[in-house]
Structure 1
Amino acid sequence: MFKFLHTADIHLDSPLLNLDKYDDAPREEFRSATRRAFDNIVDLAMRETVDLVIIAGDLDDGDCTDFHTPRYIRRQMQRLESHRIRVFIIQGNHDAANNMKKAFRLEMPDNVKLFSTSKPETERLEEIGVAIHGQGFSKREVTEDLSQSYPDALPNYINIGILHSSCGVHDQHDTYAPSTVKGLSSKGYDYWALGHIHKHQTLSGPNPWIVYSGNPQGRSVRETGARGCVIATYDGERILTKRHETDVMRWIHVTVDVSDCSDALSIQPMIHSQLSTELSKAGDRPLAARIELVGETGSHSELVRQADYWDAQIRESVLDQFDEQVWIEKIKFQTRPPRVALRESDSALGELIAGIERPEIAAAAFEELRSDFEKMLSTIPTDPRLAREEIDITRDEVCETMKSDARDLLLTRLLNSGGDA
């Protein structure tokens, strides 16, 4: 029997994204988050008495401006060595060999193996019958499938492959060292320890296990929810896996339906309630929250007209309620005016809304809108960050979104002007 811990994408000492934009962000506490998450990994490895720690790339976020990070890494490796835990590391796209002048240059203790970046290497651990295969990145832009050069499984060993790779399709990550489940499975290994994709995923298992450990600490609002690592145990017959949480603060995206709120003040208790639930789910870790207010509500006009005021009010109320346990990254006001209630009201505005929603009038208005939009598109360059399908007005879903947004904008302006068009 033996156990190993699989982690990747630690990005040590990297800043959490967008904190510098906000004066009220708890920078000091959040800045140390990746390092404290790695402390948790080392503590977990010692507590669980694992035999091996596998780091599948991007231990570092890039080269260091000084030796503080490398010295910290060496201290953690020495802690693991004191518990007779061996460490196997490959480099990924962020800590590729040609990008590192200082990191990995300090001499590491004897328990650490840094795999070659020029060819696959195999380490045999005869005492536990394990063969570990790995190769790191020699440069950031690796476009070939490195796994194709890995050797086939060694007979009479438990074979573990370490790879930093885009296995399959992942929208939020650049493609590096692309591989496939079929190709990895063909090597005959028992476990593939993958890095690069920051979300924990099991692509195959148990024959073989192909696992992304995910990153141990979320670094932006795109990386919400629990983050951690994987401990795998070989019981003499099979490998069993278990995920462990290691993050020290957590990013969340909270959607609050305020349809039943008649005024903006009544929204705040709803936000507090959902944040309390999220804090409990996070084990009382500090939260960085993006709040999105949605729903058709009578408070829509007030929220839109005084968005800056209500943004500040909500932030202040959250600070009063939760102190520094919750920090608001952004508040998005995505509410809509209460169309049905307004349309059915006995008023001039209700009659106007009913009129513009008549199919023949709506269709004519939209054709004019479509024509104006086409003219506008022809005069401005397309933002390369914007997916073409999002502005393709030949698609029905795009047209429906435009109609709905235009109608809501008109209603909001009518409400704000007291019904005077």
Structure 2
Amino acid sequence: MKFIHTADIHLDSPLQRLEAYEGAPVEEIRQASRRAFENLVDLAIDEAVDFVLIAGDLFDGDWKDYNTGLYLIKQVRRLGEAHIKVFIIAGNHDAAGRMTRELPYPDNVHLFSPRKPETRLLETPKVAIHGQSFFKAAVTDNLASGYPDPVAGYFNVGLLHTSLTGREGHENYAPCTLDDLVNKGYDYWALGHVHRFEIVSRDPPVAFPGCIQGRHIRETGAKGCVLVTAREGESPKTVHRDIDVIRWERVAVDLGGAVSVDEILERFQAAVEAVLDRHDPKPVVARVEFVGETDLHVRIAADPDPIKESVRSTAMAHFGDRAWIEKVTVHTRPPAGIAADPGPLLELRALTDELTANDADLLALGQQLATLFQKLPPDYRQGDARIKADDPQQIRELVIQAHALLAQRLKREATGT
């Protein structure tokens, strides 16, 4: 027996925080979830699996229009034509969408009820699949506790959308412990909700397949599904299969000792090349983070836009469609042991060092600036790039950038340039 376990497809999920610039792959990323889902269907057909399990968040809430539903029907019909059944539970994002619940699925698809756990039996092979859909977006009950006992003589699978006892970055929905699952006596637990691949237990297998396609910088690295092979008398074997079409990565570029912009771009190019080699042939959307001690700190921290444009131009010139730059951040610092010029620059340096050394002072500063932050443009108040008054690290970075900007202006005034 062979089956695929997938989850968190978020079909047609909206684009999240890709800064607009000439050549940015906006349309490619919008289509990425569909192309990854087509890879999933192709894999199921090529491997001649018996069924596909989708452990929640097939969709991303209500659709922009019915084309999302029509697209899904076309793809699951392909599975039906290959005699592959599909079993789905609704997750928190699915439960939030009205149109999701009204979609008429083909005969090879079963959507589990949100009212109570239910069991679907297959006779060839002999499999009992137990599951329950979310009945609302935020389910805080232990759904697993109500799942039925295993069916004797069948391979028993539990299909559950949960974060177990909690996973960073994910709401603690349908909470339960690993013991809750293991003690149920099932042969495999197919979990969803957590977007990173994880084998939580091997006996019996309890797995998060992760999402099938990264959608933003918090979902880095390879994404895919779990291919499960089970033979009588043996423990199920799990293999993670990559099916994504675009990768997201953070690329740290150490500028320690760099003395020119050309050197910055050379180091950037080498760092990105290494990332591309690791993910070849998949294209990469990269967030570039400049770090390290450099004499260029004041220049690039005070006015980062020129270096950002140079980075994007370099990426286009050398990598073409293999690499796109999502964002460039500057986390450099001036070389240690170099004293600032006397007078206002020295006082400014001392004030900055004192303020950035203490998280409590940074939090106090953040609270003082909170009202000002609310008056900033929407890009700085929403989503991944929003300025958070209660994040001392982010406030520290703002202070360092402000110091660089003021130092540069003071030097220009002093020299008359």
- The TM tier, using the shorter chain, reads 0.7 to 0.9
The code of the aligned residue for 2:171 comes to: D
Identity %: 39
Cα offsets for 1:124-171 (capped at 9, x unmatched): 112222111011112112111111110122222211000011212222
**SS at 1:101's partner residue?**
helix
- CA 1:366–1:137 in 2, change beyond 3 Å: closer, same or farther? closer
- What is the root-mean-square deviation in Å for CA atoms of aligned residues? 3.5
Contact 1:258 1:296 in 2 (8 A): yes
Note the alpha carbon deviations across 1:274-327, whole angstroms, 9 max, x for none: 211211211221211100000001111221233111111111111111122211
Aligned partner of 2:198 in structure 1 is 201
Task: Please state how far the C-alpha of 1:114 moved relative to its aligned partner.
Answer: 1.3
Give the CA deviation at 1:375.
8.1
- The gaps in structure 2 that reach 5 residues or longer are 375-380
The amino acid that maps onto 2:218 is R
- Per the TM alignment, residue 370 of structure 1 is displaced from its structure 2 partner at its CA by 7.5
Q: Do structure 1's residue 70 and structure 2's residue 80 form an aligned pair?
A: no
Out of 225-234 and 367-376, give the one that drifted further: 367-376
**Residue 222 of structure 1, CA deviation:** 0.6
Corresponding position of 1:187? 184
2:103 paired residue number: 105
The 3 A distance-change label for structure 1 pair 117 and 49 is same
> Which secondary structure does the structure 2 equivalent of 1:242 belong to?
strand
SS, match of residue 269 in structure 1: helix
Does 1:326 pair with 2:323?
A: yes
* Equivalent-residue separation in structure 2 for 1:288 and 1:112 (angstroms): 34
CA contact (8 A) 2:164 2:176 kept: yes
Alpha-carbon distance in 2 for matches of 1:306, 1:80: 53
Deviates more, 1:236-245 or 1:370-379: 370-379
In the TM superposition, what whole-angstrom CA distance separates every residue of 1:238-282 from its partner, at most 9, and x where no partner exists? Answer: 101000001101111000101031112211111111211211211
Partner Cα distance (1:369, 1:13) in 2: 40
Question: Which deviations, in whole Å up to 9, do the C-alpha atoms of 1:10-31 show, x marking residues without a partner?
Answer: 0111123123755542122111
Q: Do the aligned residues in 1 keep the contact of 2:7 with 2:192 (CA within 8 Å)?
A: yes
Tell me whether 1:214 sits opposite 2:213 in the alignment.
no
Retained in 2: the 8 A contact 1:66–1:102?
Answer: no
Q: Partner letter of residue 104 of structure 2?
A: L
Q: Aligned in 2, Cα 1:372/1:169: closer, same or farther, shift over 3 Å?
A: closer
CA distance in structure 2 between the aligned counterparts of 1:56 and 1:90, rounded to whole angstroms: 6
CA contact (8 A) 1:337 1:411 kept: no
- Which amino acid is 1:117 matched to? P
Of 214, 217, 225, the match for 1:229 = 225
1:54-203 to 2 correspondence within 5 Å? 54-96=53-95, 99-101=97-99, 104-108=102-106, 110-203=107-200
Out of 321, 336, 339, the position equivalent to 2:336 is 339
Whether the aligned pair in 1 keeps the contact of 2:52 and 2:84 (CA below 8 Å) is yes
Q: What corresponds to 2:236 in structure 1?
A: 239
Distance 2:362 2:188 in 1: 57
Is 1:309 matched with 2:273? no
CA distance 1:105–1:281, change in 2 (3 Å): same
For residue 273 of structure 2, give the secondary structure of its aligned residue in structure 1: helix
Q: Is the 8 A contact 2:367 2:390 kept in 1?
A: no
* Residue pair 2:369, 2:389 contacting (<8 A) in 1 also: no
TM-score by length of 1: 0.84
The Cα shift of 1:202 comes to: 1.2
Q: Which residue identity does 2:18 align to in structure 1?
A: L
Q: Distance in 2 between matches of 1:70 and 1:128?
A: 30
Asked whether 1:275 is paired with 2:272, we answer: yes
Q: Structure 1 residues 375 and 45, CA, compared in 2 at 3 Å: closer, same or farther?
A: closer
> Residues of 2 paired with 1:368 and 1:65: CA distance?
46
What TM-score do the two structures reach when normalised by structure 2? 0.85
Distance of 2:279 and 2:177 partners within structure 1:
34
Q: Tell me the distance in 2 between the aligned counterparts of 1:49 and 1:369.
A: 56
SS at match of 1:288: strand
Alignment correspondent of 1:394: none
Secondary structure of the equivalent of 1:330? strand
- Aligned counterpart, 1:34: 33
Residues 200 and 227 of structure 1: CA distance in aligned 2, closer, same or farther (over 3 Å): same
In 1, Cα distance between the equivalents of 2:285 and 2:387? 26
Contiguous gaps of at least 5 residues in structure 1:
392-397
The amino acid across from 1:157 in the alignment is Y
Partner SS, residue 185 of structure 2: coil
Give the number of equivalent residue pairs: 400
- Which segment is superposed worse, 42-51 or 123-132? 123-132
Q: Give the 3 Å change call, closer, same or farther, for CA 264–80 of structure 1 in structure 2.
A: same
Runs of 4+ in structure 1 deviating by more than 6 angstroms, as ranges, are 365-373, 381-389, 404-409
Pick aligned residue for 1:250 from 219, 239, 247: 247
Q: 2:14 is aligned with what amino acid?
A: P
Once the two structures are overlaid, the 10-residue window that deviates more, 226-235 or 148-157, is: 148-157
Take 2:213 and 2:358, find their aligned partners in 1: how far apart are those partners?
49
CA distance in 1, matches of 2:191, 2:406: 52
Q: CA deviation at 1:218?
A: 0.3
Aligned CA distance change for structure 1 residues 388 and 337 (closer, same or farther; 3 Å)? closer
Q: Which residue of 2 aligns with 1:299?
A: 296
User: Structure 2 CA distance, aligned partners of 1:14 and 1:273?
Assistant: 32
Cα separation, partners in 2 of 1:418 and 1:92, compared to 1, 3 Å: same
Q: Which amino acid aligns with 1:126?
A: E
Counterpart AA for 1:336: R
For the structure 1 residues 388 and 153, does the alpha-carbon distance in structure 2 shift closer, same or farther, using more than 3 Å as the test? farther
Bigger shift: 367-376 or 45-54?
367-376
Q: Per the alignment, do residues 61 and 389 of structure 1 end up closer, same or farther by CA in structure 2, a change over 3 Å counting?
A: closer
